[in-house]
Amino acid sequence: MTDDVTGETCQWQGWREATERALYGPGGFYRRPEGPAGHFRTSVHAGPLFAGAVAGLLGEVAQELGTAEVALVDVGAGRGELLTAVLAATARTDLVVRAYAVERAARPAGLDPRITWTDRLPEPASVRGLLFANEWLDNVPVDVAEVDAAGVARYVEVRADGTERLGTPVAGPDAEWLARWWPLREPGARAEIGRPRDEAWAAAVGSLAAGRAVAVDYAHVRDSRPPFGTLTGFRAGREVPPVPDGSCDVTAHVAVDACAEAGREAGGEAGGEAGREAGAESGGEAAAEPVTQLVTQREALHRLGVSGGRPPLSLASTDPAGYVRALASAGEAAELTARGGLGDFHWLTQKVPPATG
């Protein structure tokens, strides 16, 4: 059997290595010309409301930093759709936006020349502004573990056709991560080992000199981990088996609480009770509000003024065209905030305060 991505004879690999090759290797899924939009619909593709909300968030960050010139770093930028829409949304404001797209695919033809295109995160502590990662962490490749009949957690190995087998026992930092964030006990139980995502998010938060880092993704926390993991595939708008041959997206939900801890260690301040306790112990003042926040997309967008409320019917008689526009906007907002859909995404927000002293 031959690998469709590399043309080489298939070998057994861990899921992390196989996914890396299938998504980002030569001919990989995310390097295809059509980009993610050719296969599935994200919040970015739902319409202009999402970009408008991000533009509003960017304005808040600029106000916090006391400047009109602010960076917007879009991690996992697809083909630059979000940055293009945010630049349009801020065109009539006082904001001066320095836009950076972080994406491993080639720069699209005709992209706004104001957007800097790069395949890597900014240097540590080099950015003042907003780092926004929409559906990025779920595509950071991870290994998969499964408990065997003897109760031992082992790496799951896979071939390019999706065939799996159990490999060596999970050990070292991966075993420590499982013990802390996703304990496995019953035979057949599975988990995605999120350590590479923690490291990726720590690097993203660490690139900020000041501002906010926001990750938006399908996610879960320690008290509600799925017993058999969430590894799956998507192609042409449909969920399919995860086959690491480059023909489909390979994705898994994010252990977002583990990422939040990694972000705090990288510079995103702790908030809530933890922040107040730290302030009391050091003799300093407690934070006035949490600066590490985890909410659903529904809550986050409502706070930014996006709601699915229908316009009053009276508007149809006084301003028919305005009523049609408002009705379309309400439908878009309803999609972005829908329960059981995009509204259930998690928004992890971590503020990085400016250095002092």
Q: Is the pLDDT of residue 64 over 80?
A: yes
**Could you read off the pLDDT of 106-135 as tens digits, one per residue?**
999 999 999 999 999 999 999 999 999 999
Q: Is the pLDDT of residue 238 over 60?
A: yes
Q: Is the pLDDT of residue 154 over 80?
A: yes
Q: Mean pLDDT lowest for which of 26-30, 152-156, 331-335?
A: 331-335
3-state secondary structure the chain: CECCCCCCECCCEEHHHHHHHHHHCCCCHHHCCCCHHHCCCCHHHHCHHHHHHHHHHHHHHHHHHCCCEEEEEEECCCCCHHHHHHHHHCCCCCCEEEEEEECCCCCCCCCCCCEEEECCCCCCCCEEEEEEEECCHHHCCCEEEEECCCCCEEEEEECCCCCEEEEEECCHHHHHHHHHHCCCCCCCCEEEECHHHHHHHHHHHHCEEEEEEEEEECEECHHHCCCECCCEEEECCEEECCCCCCCCEEECCEEHHHHHHHHHHHCCCCCHHHHHHHHHHHCCCCCCCCCEEEEEHHHHHHHCCCCCCCCCCCHHHHCHHHHHHHHHHHHHHHHHCCCCCHHHCEEEEEEECCCCC
State residue 309's pLDDT score. 66
State residue 152's pLDDT score. 98
pLDDT level of residue 33 (50, 70, 90 thresholds): confident
Q: Is the pLDDT of residue 321 over 80?
A: no
Q: What angle do CA 161, 165, 169 make, to 5 degrees?
A: 140
- Greater confidence (257 vs 322) lies with 257
Sign, Cα dihedral of 314, 318, 324, 329 = negative
User: Are 234 and 39 contacting, i.e. CB atoms less than 8 angstroms apart?
Assistant: yes
State residue 109's pLDDT score. 94
Interval 197-217 mean pLDDT = 97
Interval 183-206 mean pLDDT = 97
Interval 11-18 mean pLDDT = 97
- Greater confidence (152 vs 327) lies with 152
pLDDT level of residue 298 (50, 70, 90 thresholds): very high
**Half-sphere exposure in the Cβ direction for 212 (13 Å, CA):** 22
pLDDT level of residue 236 (50, 70, 90 thresholds): confident
pLDDT level of residue 181 (50, 70, 90 thresholds): very high
Report d(CA 343, CA 352) in Å as an integer: 26
Q: pTM (2 decimals)?
A: 0.86
- Greater confidence (99 vs 279) lies with 99
**Could you read off the pLDDT of 271-282 as tens digits, one per residue?**
333 333 333 333
State residue 42's pLDDT score. 81
Q: Is the pLDDT of residue 92 over 70?
A: yes
Report d(CA 214, CA 167) in Å as an integer: 35
State residue 9's pLDDT score. 45
pLDDT level of residue 332 (50, 70, 90 thresholds): confident
Q: Mean pLDDT lowest for which of 100-114, 156-170, 313-327?
A: 313-327
